[in-house]
Amino acid sequence: MNKAMVIGNLGNDPEIRYTQKGATVATFSVATTEKWKDADGVQQEHTDWHRIVAWKGLAEICGDHLKKGSKVYIEGKLQTRKWDENGITRYTTEIIAKSMEMLGGKNVDKETASPAAHGNATHGNNVDNPPAPDTEVPF
């Protein structure tokens, strides 16, 4: 099973792009922070950044309703991509979003956000049929 779930805050506004075939793609980063006290009782903190990719209808919802600082729950799967850059093989691991839930707070615009954006926003994102591997990703 390949399942990833994160609750955190957007580090930037979603970037919206389109494939050559017209599919909408949203990319953004979500920060998750862990806090604990060490053996000396001193508060410690560690933040991890997660790259999120949403496709089609879910990408449009993310672009319309998420902003830097928004608190969200993202559920999806992990995917690692590789590419060649100047003779060097590079890798990135992303969470391919299946659903997104806005968790509220100061950045949620309750008057303009669609009901789907506040709930389990899977509208239009067919994760069972993701883009073909040869689909050119616009980033």
CATH code for the domain in which residue 55 is found: 2.40.50.140
Residue 90 lies in a domain: yes
Counted domains in the chain: 1
- Structure confidence at residue 54 as a pLDDT band (50, 70, 90): very high
What is the share, in percent, of the chain residues with pLDDT greater than 70? 75
Q: Tens digit of pLDDT for each residue in 62-112?
A: 999 999 999 999 999 999 999 999 999 999 999 999 999 999 755 444 433
Residue 62 lies in a domain: yes
Residue 87 lies in a domain: yes
Residue 136 lies in a domain: no
Residue 127 lies in a domain: no
Residue with tokens 């389109």: 18
pLDDT at 114: 38
The residue segments making up the domain with residue 59 are 4-35+45-118
**CA atoms of 74 and 89, how far apart (whole Å):** 29
pLDDT at 106: 54
- Structure confidence at residue 28 as a pLDDT band (50, 70, 90): very high
**CA atoms of 24 and 33, how far apart (whole Å):** 29
pTM comes to: 0.73
Can you say whether residue 98 is alpha, beta or left, with left for phi > 0 and alpha for psi between -120 and 50 degrees? alpha
The answer, yes or no, to whether residue 138 has pLDDT greater than 80, is no
Residue 110 lies in a domain: yes
And the tokens for 43?
């508060």
pLDDT at 21: 95
